Amino acid sequence: MTEFVDVVIVGAGISGISAAWHLQDRSPDKSYLILERRENLGGTWDLFKYPGIRSDSDMYTLGFRFKPWSSEQAIVDGPSILNYLKEAAAENGIDKHMRFGHTVRTANWSDVDNQWELTVDRGGESVQINCGFLIACSGYYNYDQGYSPEFAGSQDFEGTIVHPQHWPEDLDHQGKKVVVIGSGATAVTLIPALIDSGAAHVTMLQRSPTYIAPQPDKDAFAARMNRMLPTNAAYTVTRWKAIARSTFYYQLARRFPNFFRKQLRTFAERRLPEGFDIDKHFNPSYKPWDQRLCVAPNGDLFRAIRKGKADVVTDTIERFTKTGIKLTSGQELDADIIVTATGLNMQLFGGAEIQRNGEAMPLTDMMAFKGMMLTGLPNMAFTVGYTNASWTLKADLVSEFVCRVLNYMDDNGFDRVEPQHPGDAVEERPIMDFSPGYVLRALDQLPKGGHVTPWRLKQNYLLDLQLIRRGKVDDEALLFTKHRAPVAASI
């Protein structure tokens, strides 16, 4: 028998837990389910198992507004984040609404029945679950396959090749020589962690450099606030300090890129051994924050290089050989293990096909309203967090707005809300004003943004507070209508 719930949330990661908490708090009459394809909650923080997995973000902003992070340890490892998410779900009874092992394959909006019809794979069996409103909290990348370009000769390599997204838990790197291909957050995290846990030597092999900022992993301000104030007050103050700090540094980087670049260069110079070629290995050609800036907690990567346990090679790969990698310059790198930290495959809605009245809806024809609802798709919202600040800040804003929309519809007798495409009045822009490889590779499959609000995504929490938290619900771009109420089957 087909089930019906008021709201289905797809995904039990940070965004799904945020959506559920806000629904319970602000729209408590709504019934809801969280459908999760994995057997555990946590999403990203449950999936990635490579050594040292951690966030770049501080926990005062990666944490939820409703659950204080009361430690002075600001940057923490993946298992601690997962534990925090499990606590958040359990303390609020959200875990009881989760259905694990449920993969949403298609989501079809029916105009006749005014509802979403989800075809869900449950351990090989196909079931249908219908809902009045759909919140896609399914992350931004393909869970099945990380991005791994073809490397010539990879079949000749006699050691182990591993992608960080698929790290074998039994992989032994004790005493081994490791080459990590890549220079993003994953490579920057992995290298010191591999060394600390017994690798003989690690080489970071990059085609081009990335900006890396050393940052303390503890927050002395948080420790002081925790001593002086009750937990909630201390968290609020520390959270706002963290928001102000990251906004300030981001704005500084964008407005004064040369100054910021020089600062980062100086930080690196102070920590690296004399004679190290900083301009070749740590001074990118693009401006700070054109791509994500990576954090090295307490300068751990620089320390590993200074100790001679790690080095950086900036070159291109000609081919893999039996014993390692041959570079275009002619240099050869010996390796027992090659880690392809080459990134993610971007994917929206966890690969589910989105339909309206049984017809597939191409995402590229759609425009995103406030970066969270799509033209052509009624009663639907999705969460994609910030690229320059903690994901959770945006997730909480989206969740709040969805509750305001649901409550507004109930109060005014509407049962459908649909963003209206502004047509030629608004110039199309890429949905993300950000240029790392995984975004560039996916841009031609993503919905569009526009040149003005509410279609323009500003990647700025303070502006979004105005636009999303305080922005009116009955926006001109949203069409609210009344249709037949969906027929509720049993649950």
Ligand X SMILES: Cc1cc2nc3c(=O)[nH]c(=O)nc-3n(C[C@H](O)[C@H](O)[C@H](O)COP(=O)(O)OP(=O)(O)OC[C@H]3O[C@@H](n4cnc5c(N)ncnc54)[C@H](O)[C@@H]3O)c2cc1C
Residues binding ligand X (CB under 6 A): 10-16, 35-38, 43-45, 48, 55-57, 62, 103-104, 137-139, 143, 185-186, 350, 352, 383, 385, 390-391
CB of 350 to ligand X, least distance (A): 2
CB of 427 to ligand X, least distance (A): 28
> Which residue's Cβ has the minimum distance to ligand X?
350
CB of 275 to ligand X, least distance (A): 32
- Of the pair 11, 450, the CB lying nearest ligand X is at 11
CB of 10 to ligand X, least distance (A): 5
- Of the pair 14, 225, the CB lying nearest ligand X is at 14
- Of the pair 81, 272, the CB lying nearest ligand X is at 81
- Of the pair 134, 195, the CB lying nearest ligand X is at 134
3-state secondary structure the chain: CCEEEEEEEECCCHHHHHHHHHHHHHCCCCCEEEECCCCCCCCHHHHCCCCCCECCCCHHHHCCCCCCCCCCECCCEHHHHHHHHHHHHHHCCHHHHEECCEEEEEEEEECCCCEEEEEEEECCEEEEEEEEEEEECCCCECCCCCCCCCCCCHHHCCCEEECHHHCCCCCCCCCCEEEEECCCHHHHHHHHHHHHCCCCEEEEEECCCCCEEEECCECHHHHHHHHHCCHHHHHHHHHHHHHHHHHHHHHHHHHCHHHHHHHHHHHHHHHCCCCCCHHHHCCCCCCECCECCEEEECCHHHHHHHCCCEEEEECCEEEECCCEEEECCCCEEECCEEEECCCCCECCHHHCEEEECCEECCHHHCEEECCCEECCCCCEEECCCCCCCCHHHHHHHHHHHHHHHHHHHHHHCCCEEEECCCHHHCCEEECCCCCCHHHHHHHHHCCEEECCCCCCCCCCHHHHHHHHHCCCCCCCCEEEECCCCCCCCCC
- Of the pair 240, 259, the CB lying nearest ligand X is at 240
- Of the pair 15, 203, the CB lying nearest ligand X is at 15
- Of the pair 317, 346, the CB lying nearest ligand X is at 346
CB of 294 to ligand X, least distance (A): 10
CB of 360 to ligand X, least distance (A): 15
- Of the pair 15, 183, the CB lying nearest ligand X is at 15
CB of 55 to ligand X, least distance (A): 3
CB of 58 to ligand X, least distance (A): 9
